[in-house]
Amino acid sequence: MFSGLGPLPAQADLETLRFEGRQITVKRDPLTRLPLTMRAAGVPLLEIKRIAKLTRDQITLTGPLLARKYKKFLQIEPDELRLKAAERVGGTWYVSYWQTVKGLIIYESSLGFSIDSRGRIQSLGALLYPRVPLPEGIKVNRNQALKIGAGQIPDFKKQAYTLLAENILVYPERTPEAIRYFKVYAFNFFPQKALHPASVVGGYAVFVDTQTGGVIHRETLFKPLGCCVPENWVPPKPEDLYKGIFGN
């Protein structure tokens, strides 16, 4: 299951620099050197015109706009983002995205920010990965991986577990010194009794390597939510990002 940014890496580095006339404070991931947070002093990172008249679909273009404007820092192309959520609470929009590589979502990656009622994005939070290496193809088929994943669940048959969601994604395994990347099957399993609306029974997410069949990670889930299933949203083409709606 995807969360927001997840736990931020320890000992993140903080620095202040200038970019396009702005003084920007950046907190960097010590492993990737990419921003965990960015904030511009005195001015917004991005300001959107006519915010009150924009539709939700138009609001979702702001992530690709930020990726394009701050590519020097984020090192991600606009079409490498996949929408996670876009919700309006009061007069403020909260928007977040996953990062993708070769069309696959990177587990717990994130680019997120809020847009105030005046159209200002004052800061952003991110967990992004540069230059992700991935193997070509798949060596372990889905049915084999599913059997391996189910074998990781205690009392799988006795508790009548069922598969609620699945996807193929990229799992970044972080250590204090480095990051290893795996192309994995991600399975969400929940027992039948967890499907009742009032149930507090949890389930499991299991990540199986598409190359070796090894179990890369297993974690407990507390709600029967879909694993790694993005919204049906297509990133805009670069030439379509600016249509006289957004400011520079």
Write the class of the CATH domain 13-132: alpha beta
Architecture of the domain delimited by 142-221:
Roll (3.10)
Show pLDDT as tens, one digit a residue, over the chain (248 residues): 333 334 445 556 789 989 988 899 999 999 999 999 999 998 999 999 889 899 999 999 999 999 999 999 999 999 999 999 999 999 999 999 999 999 999 999 999 999 999 999 999 999 999 999 999 999 999 999 999 999 999 888 888 888 888 999 999 999 999 999 999 999 999 888 766 665 656 789 999 999 999 999 999 887 655 566 566 666 666 556 555 445 44
Residue at 109: amino acid letter:
S
How many whole angstroms separate alpha carbon 205 and alpha carbon 184? 12
pLDDT on residue 165: 86
pLDDT on residue 247: 45
Q: Where are the alpha helices (DSSP H) in the chain?
A: 56-59, 62-69, 71-74, 142-150
pLDDT on residue 71: 95
Domain locations in the chain as residue ranges: 13-132, 142-221
pLDDT on residue 151: 94
pLDDT on residue 83: 94
What is the biggest distance separating any 2 CA atoms in the chain, rounded to whole angstroms?
Answer: 63
pLDDT on residue 192: 80
